[in-house]
Structures are given as structure tokens and as C-alpha cells.
Amino acid sequence: MKKKTLLLQTLAFLIFLGSWQLLSLAFQDVSLIFPTPFGVIRKLLSALPLFLDHTLATGFEMFFSILIATLLAFPLSLLMGRYQIMKMLLQPFFITMQCIPMFTLAPIFIVWFGWSLFAVIIPTTLMILFPLATCFYKGFQSTEKPYEDYFRVHGIRSSLYLFSVKLPFARPHIFSGLRIACGIAGVGAIGGEWAGAQKGLGVFMQISRRNFDLESVCASILCLLVLSLTFYYFATLLETLFTRKPHEKLAPATI
């Protein structure tokens, strides 16, 4: 079934590329404002070291943004689940941060931190913190009540309860949040680079746009797509390796 789905998705993608290429050949004026797939690939290959340099810079920003957001979301979601007052205090903050386009704060961070990676990483981290913390919180709240009662009655310490019960139940939600973060981290990084950065795909897009080099713009978008998919499928791979059904780690028959 999975092979059939993958085959259909690949076929649909090839049909899309073929239609795009044929449209560009049939209407020559279109190629002036919308480059052909072959033109984009040719541009990418002709300046591959330059594209790799900017792609690695954006990938570095995405990686550390996801890492920092994960390290923040984990304890914050636990606090929200344990203390109602923390949930009341943090939820408005998360919603406010989600309503503000984070790349608009990049100029402020440039004033604070200068032309460094922090000016891009911090707003990107804030952008993905809300969906991560929400997924983590939902995961930690999904523990089935019989397990909670069993550990509470036997007075087992909190750390053992967290790693033995809460994490197994929360893993699907945790990796779901990570996949979402991987999908939108590229958007935040590009927005931050547009606002102020010295290197990255967003910077290269801006330079190419000013030179009316649309093939380079589309090639940069292609690099961003590959980069985001790489993070996404890496998170999916981690989920496959680490996620198990809760009953595989616990013994429901003893409860």
C-alpha cells in the first residue's frame, strides 16, 4: 500500500513538472517570468557550491531553532500540565507570539545581537515554540488514568513516573510536534534572513530578485524544499525508531 501511494505521488509530481515544462515551451513569454524546471536545475548545478553554502547556513539556523525550541517546550509543557497557574500564564504568551510575525522582530534582534545568527535563530525559535509546546502538553496529558492511579497508589517517584509512563504515551504527540516544527522552521528562517542576515537562502533570494534572476530564486526555493523535507523525514525516522505502543513498555496486566 505504501509503495502504491509513493508511486502515485511520484507520478503526480512528474506530471506537474512535465506540464510546467510543456507550458513554458508552448508559450515562450511565460518562460521570461516563470523559469522552466530544466532551467532551474541547470542554474542550480552551474552554481552548486554557492547554493550549498547558503543552504548550509539556513540549515544551521533551522537545526538550532528546532533544538532550542524543543529544549524549552519540554519543561514548559510539563509545568503547564502540573500547575494550572503556569498554564494560565504561558498560554497567552504562546498565543501572542503566534499572532506576531516573528521575522518582524528580526530588526530588533539585530540591534540587540548585531548581524549574527542569533538575530535569525531567536525569532524562528519563538515561531515554532507554540506548536511544539502545545503538542508536548497534549502528549503528557494523554496518559491513561489506570496507569496514573497505579503509580500514585504505590508512591513511585515522579522521575520514574515521567520516563516510564508519561513519555511512552506522549511520544506520538512529541514527534508530531517535531514534524510540524521541521515543516515551518524553514519559513521562519527565511523570514528572519529577509529581515536581516549576511548569509542564507533568504539573503540569496533577495539578491537574485534584485537582479531579476528568477531561475536562482526558484532554485533557492527548491533548496529550501529539500532542506525542510530532510528535517521532516529525519523526524519521521526518529519516530519510527523510538515510538512504541505504551503497552510494549508497561505491563497492563499488573494494573
DSSP 61-104: HHHHHHHHHHHHHHHHHHHHHH-HHHHHHHHHHHHHHHHS-GGG
φ/ψ of residue 144, rounded to 5: -70, 140
Q: Show Cβ contacts of residue 240 under 8 Å, excluding neighbours closer than 6 positions.
A: none
Helix 118-140 vs helix 106-113: crossing angle, to nearest 10:
120
**142 exposed, middle or buried (CB, 10 Å; 0-12, 13-18, 19+)?**
middle
Task: Give how far the C-alpha of residue 4 lies from the chain's centroid of Cα atoms, to the nearest Å.
Answer: 27
CATH superfamily to which 39-246 belongs: MetI-like (1.10.3720.10)
Tell me the pTM: 0.79
Write down the residue that cell numbers 523510538 correspond to. 242
Q: Compute CA distances 151 → 77, 84, 125, 142, 147, whole Å.
A: 21, 21, 35, 15, 6
Residue 194: name the closest of 101, 109, 106 by CA.
106
What residue segments make up the domains of the chain, in order of their start?
39-246
Task: Give the cell for residue 225.
Answer: 524544499
Task: Give the cell for residue 38.
Answer: 530544466
> Going residue by residue through the chain (255 aa), what tens digit of pLDDT does each one get?
567 777 887 888 788 878 877 777 777 666 667 788 888 888 888 888 999 999 999 999 999 999 999 999 888 888 887 777 887 888 787 777 777 776 677 677 777 777 777 778 888 888 888 888 888 888 887 776 666 666 666 666 666 666 667 777 778 888 888 998 988 888 888 887 887 777 888 888 888 888 888 888 889 998 998 999 899 989 888 888 876 554 444 444 344
206: region left, alpha or beta (phi > 0 left; psi from -120 to 50 alpha): alpha
Residue 177: name the closest of 238, 113, 109, 253 by CA.
238
Distance CA 173, CA 6 (A): 24
Beta strands in the chain (DSSP E): none
